[in-house]
Amino acid sequence: MSSENRAILIQKINLLEQNFPVETWEINGMHVWPLFKKHLFFSLNSGNSLHTTEKVKSGKLKIFTNKAASLLSALNYILKLKIGKCEIVFSGAASHKVYYQDQFINRYFKPVNQYLAEKNISFLNLNFDSSPQSKGDDFAIDKLIPLFRGDKVKIRDLKKLPGFEAFLTSVNEYFGMNQAQFLSGLIRNLNTVARWKKLYLYIFKKTKPKASFGLCYYSPAMFGMNLAANSMGITAIDMQHGAQGELHPAYHYSKVPTNGYNSLPKEFWCWDDHSYRFIAQWSNGTKHKAKVSGNPWLLYVKERAVVTDIPKEKPIILFTHQPLVPVINEYLVQSIKDTCEDFLWMIRLHPRITVEDRNSLIAILKEEGVLDKIDLKIANELALPLLLEHASIHISKFSGAIIEGVALNTPTIILEQIGIKTFSTIMEPGRVIGIDNPSKKVILDIIQQLMLNKPNKKSELKDFTHLVDEITS
């Protein structure tokens, strides 16, 4: 989806939020609007069709066999699972991990883990979405999910919500979606979240933590963790992992119950003042709180970095790519062509880029004759904070890497209106410049301007430790 279409989609979802009493919607004690909002946005933004009703059929025997095998595997795993009391529980996915200095670590949890270990404070790391490639000593609790069942949600439960029938009509008008498929998707998500809630209740009753940390709170597992934590008086915390603001539906609410949504985290730990102010604005007067923690990963890498791989022959321009349409804009390709003799361009691919999009990007760069002049290897192997710190200029659309680059005092060019709107409060002449209608000429002029007025690269990163001390004291 293009950035323009993304903005239009979010505007329509915001209208739904404003026009219906979504803050009152509860099913089985669960505030469901955050889940509905996420389901709408990500189904449409990812290109998943809401217009068809095609189903994949499997034989009953095969379904039964698979369920039985999963159940036996889960029983075997839970019998071996030995967990006791701890003060903090962390939950993340294998996709949140990176290889760094010969370790496979969660880049946001590891710094906090290390600080807790130094203070002899107990903690537990859980993987809620593990994979065969996931290594380390984290518990893969997704293996346990076949053992847990939540309260089942049915279509009649949805239709009891005040204004829901009219809501469905508006959704159909806005998006032309297939109503049956939309409803079945909502029910599937709600039932999955309910199962995760039961699993986390089991974990929390054993661990009795003071707080739970999650990444990407709007996944089914993290919704379930928030529900379990909130029901037990445990402080549920979401650690920022990327761009937030009004163009990210999971971090923007115009209606919030006074006691908050029990499916949301209690605290949002933000990288910078900009992110903090936005969440603090809509959460004001509720039980949700925004706090500035800084970016633990930036601080961790800065304190341990030993860099030998970054070329120094030319100034570096780093472009942090995102999974948008087109895969790369013509104006950017032409900018690379005109400057590749004077700069080393690095393209950092988004973690969610598909194989098809990666191949398409490479094909375009090869056809334009610049593939061999661009670094894709080091740009996608080295830790992003190191790339940003050594780059002379950082270019992006609305990636969370913009916040990281600004924190590291790297001159930044923000492309397109959606990026400018997202990061409007951090624009600064000569340091962070937005281009709402990009062209090769404008980009080249700004590159020249930034290179003539290089800022001092010294950066002062915010520290998270005082917030950890608050929780554990």
The residues near 395 (Cβ < 8 Å, ≥ 6 apart) are: 317, 318, 319, 320, 332, 412, 413, 415, 443
> How many Cβ atoms are within 10 Å of 83's Cβ, its own excluded?
13
pLDDT in tens, 223-234: 999 999 999 999
Token code pair at residue 357: 């999009």
Give the confidence band of 160 by pLDDT, cuts at 50, 70, 90.
very high
134, two tokens: 């996931």
In the structure, what pLDDT confidence band is assigned to residue 181 with cuts at 50, 70 and 90?
A: confident
**Angle between the N-to-C axes of helices 179-207 and 220-232, in degrees from 0 to 180, rounded to the nearest 10:** 50
Whole-number average pLDDT of the chain = 91
* Confidence bin at 57 (pLDDT 50/70/90): low
pLDDT digits (tens, 9 = 90+) for 94-110: 888 888 888 889 999 99
Shared fold status for 1-51+72-293 and 306-452: yes
Q: How confident is the model at residue 134 (pLDDT cuts 50, 70, 90)?
A: low
* Reported confidence tier of residue 170, pLDDT bands at 50, 70, 90: very high
pLDDT greater than 70 at residue 55: no
- The gap from C-alpha 335 to its chain's centroid, in whole angstroms, comes to 29
Domain-by-domain residue ranges, the chain? 1-51+72-293, 306-452
Q: Is the pLDDT of residue 142 over 90?
A: yes
60-64, 312-316, 337-341: range with lowest mean pLDDT:
60-64
What is the structure's pLDDT at 49? 41
Single out the residue of 319, 159, 350, 330 nearest to residue 242, CA to CA: 350
Residue with token string 């001159």? 411
Helix (H, G, I), strand (E, B) or coil at 125: strand
Please state which of the four CATH numbers 2.60.40, 3.40.50, 3.40.1800, 3.30.70 is assigned to the domain occupying 1-51+72-293.
3.40.50
CB under 8 Å to 330, separation ≥6 — which residues? none
Find the range with the poorest average confidence among 94-98, 342-346, 453-457.
Answer: 453-457
pLDDT at residue 54 in the model = 44
Of 233, 162, 389, 365, which is closest to residue 298 (Cα–Cα)? 389
Return the pLDDT at 257: 94
* DSSP-assigned states of every residue in 42-76: HHHHTT--SS--------HHHHHHHHHHHHHHHHH
Q: Where are the beta strands (DSSP E) in 196-296?
A: 211-215, 235-239, 267-270, 289-292
Q: What CATH architecture is 306-452?
A: 3-Layer(aba) Sandwich (3.40)
% residues pLDDT > 70 (the chain):
94
- State the Cα–Cα distance between residues 334 and 326, nearest whole angstrom: 15
- Residue 310 phi, psi (nearest 5): -80, 125
